[in-house]
């Protein structure tokens, strides 16, 4: 065993040798399988009785981990988080995949939270042939003194105000770590809506709107005409976009046309703090809205999906895409031509995103403005990308997603090889 003196405390982190590892982990359904099954509208609750029996009979943290995922995938967030908390009382490290003797060994660091809290690597690395351990850190959890052996570390913790203290502490924990660390925790806060604008607003060919934080009381004042929008919040002007802070997936996201519409919105929203930004009309010439989800893997862009909608809020997959073969055909064509088309037009802007954000893996939702610029809505290291869409409706999606997944695995292998060369040179 080797002592790695890099933890937040003075004790350091002790890496377990292979001989000290526990035996094979209990069976785990895992996020990829449960997500795919839920997306196919198969009742994943059928697993619940057996998992409860295992958890009660054996104090099985792995059974609790699956139960927590099932609750969250069935939109029972609070109970899912409570079950996850019980699992973490039993253990903080979970082996979610086992490879062969020569398999790459990846340590993934997560924090407790819902399905948007961490990079969903399980969907990217399903059947990757790697050994993958997941370590949970965060409030109420002790920083471990002993870790499983690993070839490299991937920080999966997503950007959120509630994660900032954990990310800062993790940056200290991983400082001078003698293995490659991907998605360094000190760079994750660059993804926040406000900071991303500060970092990227002057990139040629890239369009972003400034995002402001505002509390409910100030919005209520604005609704009554007690304050003027431009005076209080810089260059904001109606129509504006309002969303609760911490919300994802379009939850309580709304376009507000005028001050008098704010009161209606607030009657439907239960949050106390919000993000507000300008609305940019990005409709194409045919009046439809096209939203792209792009991921950058070591700086190389890949198209994960393109949604086409009559509404400016574009979710994916959804009824419009499923019902319209012409829109699916356009998405397939965009994927086939992406490297020679979209990636060329916006290559410099995407290269700047990679350089300035400083993450090995990051995704963003975007569109193209009428002037041809890249309009970035949101950046995240925790966007869901997957190969779980119906292959009968989306036959082109699985090859595209496998292309992305292989690129991600190649990045991990390259970083591990580089790490091995460094380790040999350093005599570790």
Which domains, ranges and CATH numbers included, belong to the chain? Answer: 2-185 (no CATH), 210-278 (3.30.1490.20), 289-414 (3.30.470)
**Residue 201 to residue 196: CA distance in whole angstroms:** 8
Q: How far apart are CA 107 and CA 110, in angstroms?
A: 10
Q: 309-327, pLDDT tens digit by residue?
A: 999 988 776 788 999 999 9
Q: In the sheet where 254-256 sits, what is the strand order?
A: 211-215, 273-278, 240-244, 254-256
Strands (E), 183-338: 206-207, 211-215, 240-244, 254-256, 273-278, 289-297, 300-309
What pLDDT is recorded for position 422? 40
Does the pLDDT at position 352 exceed 80?
Answer: yes
Residue 8 has pLDDT above 80, yes or no: no
Residue 226 has pLDDT above 80, yes or no: no
Pairing between β-strand 300-309 and β-strand 273-278 as defined by DSSP bridges: unpaired
What are the pLDDT digits (tens) for 263-277?
Answer: 999 988 888 999 898
Burial 143-156 (b: 16+ CB within 10 A, else e): bbeebbbbbbbbbb
Q: Is residue 369 pLDDT above 70, yes or no?
A: yes
pLDDT at 18 over 50: no
DSSP 69: H
Regarding predicted confidence, which is higher, 240 or 232?
240
Q: Specify the pTM.
A: 0.89
pLDDT class of 260 with cuts at 50, 70, 90: confident
CB 266, CB 220: distance < 8 Å: yes
Res 211: pLDDT: 86
Name which of 91-95, 104-108, 423-427 the model is least confident about.
Answer: 423-427
């Amino acid at each position: 065993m080797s002592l790695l003196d890099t933890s937040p405390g003075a004790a350091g982190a002790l890496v377990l040798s292979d001989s000290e590892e526990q035996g094979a982990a209990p069976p785990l359904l895992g996020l990829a399988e449960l997500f795919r099954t839920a997306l196919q509208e198969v009742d994943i609750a059928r697993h619940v009785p057996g998992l409860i029996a295992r958890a009660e009979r054996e104090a099985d943290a792995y059974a609790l981990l699956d139960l927590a995922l099932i609750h969250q995938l069935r939109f029972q967030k609070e109970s899912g988080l409570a079950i996850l908390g019980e699992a973490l009382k039993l253990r903080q490290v979970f082996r979610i995949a086992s490879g062969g003797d020569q398999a790459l060994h990846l340590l993934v660091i997560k924090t407790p939270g819902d399905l948007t809290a961490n990079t969903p690597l399980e969907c990217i690395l399903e059947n990757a042939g790697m050994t993958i351990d997941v370590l949970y850190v965060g409030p109420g959890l002790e920083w471990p003194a002993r870790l499983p052996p690993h070839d490299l570390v991937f920080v999966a913790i997503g950007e959120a105000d509630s994660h900032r203290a954990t990310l800062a502490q993790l940056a200290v924990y991983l400082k001078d770590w003698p293995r490659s660390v991907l998605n360094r925790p000190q760079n994750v806060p660059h993804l926040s809506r406000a900071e991303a604008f500060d970092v990227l607003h002057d990139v040629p060919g890239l369009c972003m709107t400034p995002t402001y934080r505002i509390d409910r009381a100030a919005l209520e004042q604005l609704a009554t005409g007690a304050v003027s929008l431009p005076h209080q919040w810089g260059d904001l002007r109606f129509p504006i976009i309002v969303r609760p802070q911490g919300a994802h997936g379009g939850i309580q996201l709304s376009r507000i046309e005028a001050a008098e519409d704010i009161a209606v919105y607030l009657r439907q929203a239960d949050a106390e703090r919000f993000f507000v930004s300008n609305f940019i009309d990005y409709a194409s010439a045919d009046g439809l809205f096209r939203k792209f989800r792009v991921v950058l893997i070591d700086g190389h862009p890949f198209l994960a999906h393109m949604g086409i909608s009559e509404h400016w809020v574009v979710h994916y997959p959804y009824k419009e895409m499923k019902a319209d073969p012409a829109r699916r055909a356009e998405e397939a064509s965009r994927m086939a031509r992406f490297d020679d088309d979209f990636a060329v037009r916006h290559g410099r802007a995407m290269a700047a995103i990679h350089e300035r954000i400083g993450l090995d893996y990051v995704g963003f939702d975007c569109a193209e403005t009428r002037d041809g610029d890249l309009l970035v809505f949101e950046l995240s290291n925790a966007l869901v990308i997957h190969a779980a869409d119906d292959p009968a409706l989306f036959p082109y999606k699985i090859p595209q997603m496998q292309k992305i997944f292989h690129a991600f695995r190649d990045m991990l292998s390259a970083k591990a090889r580089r790490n091995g060369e460094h380790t040999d040179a350093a005599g570790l």
